[in-house]
């Protein structure tokens, strides 16, 4: 009742204010409510809303208010319409109030977010405006006005944050600099310059896990990134993380096969780790359309060789791996309980691995690593994870949710996991790279 009185009062005051006022042509962007948003209205209500919006576009605020006055004050389009009337007449405070009220009743009303975005732009609240346009794009990804405005604001805010970060770095305030770079990434998540700068800062601080995440986000692996990769590899090497440094040094050799210093360092690390040349089958994993159990065992054995080197549990009885090229990796993974040996002592090395099975393997590997001193922390709380196609009673639900919580496996945009889908070589390689990056 209180809301009805307030809206009715707003209509009355607005009508009296507009009776003798001049016609004002709108200087704001005005979109009609989407058909989906208006679907719950009656035909008469849809026609009335269409007429009211047409009047608002033409600057006939008196006409718009008369139409809205005949509708129920509980209708969210009434509050939204009054918000646009106020916006057109430059009553920004009133416009904000009405549009926020409309969202209380109908939180998916994109026209209200569009109006609020323009209000916050006019009042120099760019971050709030940006959030409003992102709300529009969540509900209407093809909205050109919201996209253009969001991108324009993001560019401005990104530039301001980058300038602040560079000034802070020049003044020696690393914490303020990092905070500003991270703020820039809120508006431009793929901004390479920010990721590179953060990677360098975290390398200096020996926070290799965070440095690795920014290094990968920067897309390092191109010729111009060689120096950054070298900084990272050298820092890992100096801190005694030889296996991880070897991976990065080998990336550098892909970019520059003639780098003699890096070649010597690679040989030095290999000799220290006792690394042997890998068979051709291992090199083929990355390009395979679907990985097998022996492929996964080999990826684990090679990627985590240094961490697992000192673990030598009693090997289980396995009768079907004597001719597998990955036999020694299979035996190690099975002995550690990372991969399953069936009751008949078969491993089935050629069995294709799906995403649900990969999640279980990853979680078992994490358990082994943590029990032996590696610090690995979930990135997302389990209770915040919602999976559309894996109910809680699913046999693999818990390992799938845990793999997602560590962010080594992810959900699609529709929040599906696709547990039965085969894992290809590129995905499998990436999963273990991400997991290696989590180890502290």
Tell me the per-residue pLDDT of 213-252, one tens digit each, with 9 for 90 and over.
888 788 765 556 788 889 889 988 888 787 778 888 888 8
pLDDT in tens, 142-151: 999 999 999 9
- Answer yes or no: pTM beyond 0.85: no
pLDDT in tens, 391-415: 999 999 999 999 999 999 999 988 9
Taking CA atoms, 399 is separated from 2, 336, 342, 355, in Å, by 50, 17, 19, 11
Say how many residues make up the chain: 440
Is 420:356 a contact under the CB 8 Å cutoff?
yes
pLDDT in tens, 12-41: 444 444 433 455 456 789 998 877 777 778
Domain positions in the chain are 2-141, 220-275, 280-438
2-141 CATH? 1.25.40.10
pLDDT in tens, 188-209: 988 999 999 999 999 989 888 8
Token pair in block for residue 210 = 């965070």
Distance in angstroms (rounded) separating the CA atoms of residues 63 and 53: 10
pLDDT in tens, 266-312: 888 877 765 555 677 888 999 999 999 999 999 999 889 878 877 87
Predicted pLDDT of residue 223: 54
Quick one: pLDDT band at residue 169, thresholds 50, 70, 90?
very high
- Express the helix, strand and coil content of the chain in percent, nearest 5 each: 65, 0, 35
Question: How large is the average pLDDT for residues 306-334?
Answer: 88
pLDDT over 70, % of the chain: 91
Distance in angstroms (rounded) separating the CA atoms of residues 377 and 366: 10
Question: How large is the average pLDDT for residues 108-116?
Answer: 95
Q: Count Cα neighbours of 158 within 13 Å in the Cβ-side half-sphere.
A: 17
Nearest 5 degrees, angle CA 11-CA 15-CA 21? Answer: 145
Predicted pLDDT of residue 6: 45
């Amino acid at each position: 009742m209180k809301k009805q009185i307030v809206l009715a009062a707003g209509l009355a005051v607005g009508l009296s204010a507009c009776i003798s006022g001049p016609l004002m042509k709108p200087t704001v962007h005005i979109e009609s409510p989407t058909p989906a948003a208006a679907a719950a209205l009656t035909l008469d209500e849809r026609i009335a809303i269409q007429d009211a919006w047409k009047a608002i576009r033409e600057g006939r605020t008196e006409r718009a208010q008369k139409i809205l006055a005949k509708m129920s004050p509980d209708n969210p389009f009434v509050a939204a319409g009054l918000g646009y009337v106020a916006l057109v007449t430059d009553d920004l405070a009133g416009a904000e109030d009405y549009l926020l009220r409309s969202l209380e009743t109908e939180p998916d009303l994109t026209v209200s977010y569009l109006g609020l975005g323009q209000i916050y732009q006019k009042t120099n609240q760019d971050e709030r405006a940006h959030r409003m346009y992102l709300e529009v794009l969540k509900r209407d990804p093809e909205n050109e006005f919201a996209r253009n405005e969001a991108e324009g604001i993001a560019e401005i805010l990104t530039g301001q944050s980058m300038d602040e970060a560079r000034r802070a770095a020049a003044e020696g305030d690393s914490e303020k600099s990092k905070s500003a770079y991270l703020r820039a990434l809120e508006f431009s998540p793929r901004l390479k310059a920010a990721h590179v700068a953060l990677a360098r800062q975290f390398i200096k601080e020996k926070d290799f896990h965070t440095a690795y995440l920014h290094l990968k986000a920067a897309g390092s692996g191109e010729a111009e990134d060689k120096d950054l990769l070298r900084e990272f590899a050298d820092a890992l090497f100096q801190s005694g993380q030889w296996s991880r440094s070897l991976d990065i040094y080998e990336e550098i050799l892909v970019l520059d096969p003639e780098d003699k210093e890096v070649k010597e360092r690679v040989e030095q690390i290999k000799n220290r780790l006792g690394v042997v040349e890998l068979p051709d089958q291992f090199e083929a994993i990355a390009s395979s359309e679907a990985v097998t159990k022996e492929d996964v065992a080999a990826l684990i054995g090679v990627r985590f060789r240094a961490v697992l080197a000192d673990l030598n549990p009693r090997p289980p009885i396995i009768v079907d791996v004597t001719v597998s090229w990955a036999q020694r990796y299979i035996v190690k993974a099975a002995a550690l309980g990372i991969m399953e040996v069936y009751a008949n002592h078969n491993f089935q090395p050629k069995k294709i691995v799906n995403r649900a099975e990969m999640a279980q393997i990853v979680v078992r590997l994490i358990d082994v690593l943590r029990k032996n001193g590696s610090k690995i922390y979930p990135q997302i709380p389990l209770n915040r994870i919602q999976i559309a196609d894996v109910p809680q009673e699913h046999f693999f639900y818990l390992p799938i949710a845990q793999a997602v919580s560590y962010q080594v496996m992810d959900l699609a945009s529709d929040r599906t996991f696709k547990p039965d889908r085969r894992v290809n070589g590129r995905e499998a390689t990436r999963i273990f790279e991400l997991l290696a990056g989590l180890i502290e």
